Amino acid sequence: MFDWTKDPHRRFNPLTREWVLVSPHRTLRPWQGQVEEEAVAVQPEYDANCYLCPGNARAGGVRNPAYSATFVFDNDFAALKPGTPVDRYDRDGLFLAESEPGLCRVVCFSPRHNLTMANMEPADLRKVVDTWVEQYLELGERPEINYVQIFENRGAMMGASNPHPHCQIWSSHALPNEVFKEQESLLGWREQRGTCLLCEYARLELAGGERVVEENAAFLTVVPFWAVWPFETMVIARRHISSIEQLTGEERDALADILKRTTARYDRLFNVSFPYSLGFHQRPTDGTPHDEHHLHLHFYPPLLRSATVRKFLVGYEMLATPQRDITAEWAAARLRAV
Ligand SMILES: [Zn+2]
Ligand SMILES: [Zn+2]
Ligand SMILES: [Zn+2]
């Protein structure tokens, strides 16, 4: 008799239409992988060498203002630049290139160098949500911008160059790969079934409860059934809204609340400031309604079994299919227990 908690199987991600291999029996195998040094350095409230702290100079000589809440500036080393001329190159469909205009910004969450979302005051986190909405609208209004990607890289393990609480916003002319895949899936689902994939998914998860980690009046956090990263989660709006500016004032507070509670849970799991990549997925800003989109965020944390042992996506996962050992249900239970 097949046992979902022990036997190897694969699970389908309907958002990307890709599979993940689940091998729960392997949690028994001996671990001989990399053991990383635990970063336990206590950060000061202000760091004279931090290019994001108030009053400090950034590379290139620009000085930050003495800001007191959130602070937004154009990235000094932007991956995308506005005013990039539109052009396209196609040689036999094999050498294909397109120019990509865009604009990259940095959002400091707080003047305090040593805060994270987990230990910020809800009222201050609400100001971050308000800033995200303003930026989404402002960047999205630009004619050359069709998608506004808000994301946070947290922790040296994820390549974050600075512990100061901040996120990035890369806005682009083209629809990014992951958003394009999800959009195709959401459209396909709606065409076939007449419903929203994520409304249906959230309803099923709330009814079952075994993968739900946090919930409030406007959002739920789940370890998705198809999670790849050990403690991956999704934060999903309960109401069908397509982008962040459609949140009511109360829902903005609820978003701040669930982000604080979810990241605090992560920090308690291995007693460390938990590293992750976090990002919104929402509708493009290309001037059409795109109400097939359903506002959500993905947390992709790398840690596997302690503050120092991380998961790598290498070998079979790079060449074939992503694989995980612990089940999504077990990961959710662990997160609920801390
Ligand atoms: Zn700083
Ligand atoms: Zn929906
Ligand atoms: Zn998504």
Digitized pLDDT (tens) for each residue of the chain, 338 residues in all: 889 888 999 999 999 999 999 999 887 665 555 555 565 568 899 999 999 999 999 988 899 999 999 999 999 889 999 888 989 999 999 999 999 999 999 999 999 999 999 999 999 999 999 999 999 999 999 999 999 999 999 998 888 879 999 999 999 999 999 999 999 999 999 999 999 999 999 999 999 999 999 999 999 999 999 999 999 999 999 999 999 999 999 999 999 999 999 999 999 999 999 999 999 999 999 999 999 999 999 999 999 888 888 999 999 999 999 999 999 999 999 999 99
Strands 276-281 and 147-154: antiparallel
Q: Which residue in 9, 25, 113, 166 is the catalytic one?
A: 166
The alpha carbon of 25 and the centre of ligand 1 are apart by a number of angstroms equal to 44
Residues lying with their CB under 5 A of ligand 1, a single-atom ion: 47, 50, 52-53, 113, 164
Look up residue 319 and give its amino acid: L
Ligand nearest to the CA of 43: 1
Paired tokens of 126: 């609400």
Pairing of strands 18-22, 323-324: parallel
**Which ligand is located closest to the Cα atom of residue 178?**
3
- In degrees and rounded to multiples of 5, residue 28 shows phi and psi of -90, -10
Residue with tokens 């209004």: 141
10 Å Cβ neighbour count for 199? 15
Rounded Cα distance between 309 and 257, Å, is 29
Span from the CA of 21 to the centroid of ligand 2 (angstroms): 27
92-119 as b/e: b if 16+ CB within 10 A:
eeeeeeeeebbbbbbbbbbbbbbbbbbe
Burial of 32 (0-12, 13-18, 19+ CB in 10 A): exposed
For residue 137, the SS3 value is helix
Query: Residue 307 Cα, ligand 1 centroid: separation in angstroms?
Result: 23
pTM of the predicted structure, to 2 decimals: 0.95
Instruction: Report CA(292)–ligand 2 centroid distance (Å).
Output: 7
- Measured from the alpha carbon of residue 45, the closest ligand is 1
Distance 320 CA to ligand 1 centre (A): 40
Whether 240 sits among the annotated catalytic residues: the reply is no
| Å from CA of 13 to ligand 2 middle | 16
Identify the CA nearest to 116 among candidates 272, 287, 1.
272
The pair of structure tokens assigned to 41 is: 């350095």
Q: What are phi and psi of 116, to 5 degrees?
A: -135, 170
Nearest-angstrom CA–CA distance, 291 and 274:
33
Which of 329, 14, 5 has the alpha carbon at shortest distance from 196? Answer: 14
Please tell me the distance between residue 201's alpha carbon and the centre of ligand 2 in angstroms. Answer: 9
Ligand closest to the CA atom of residue 13: 3
- Pairing type for strands 296-300 and 276-281 reads antiparallel
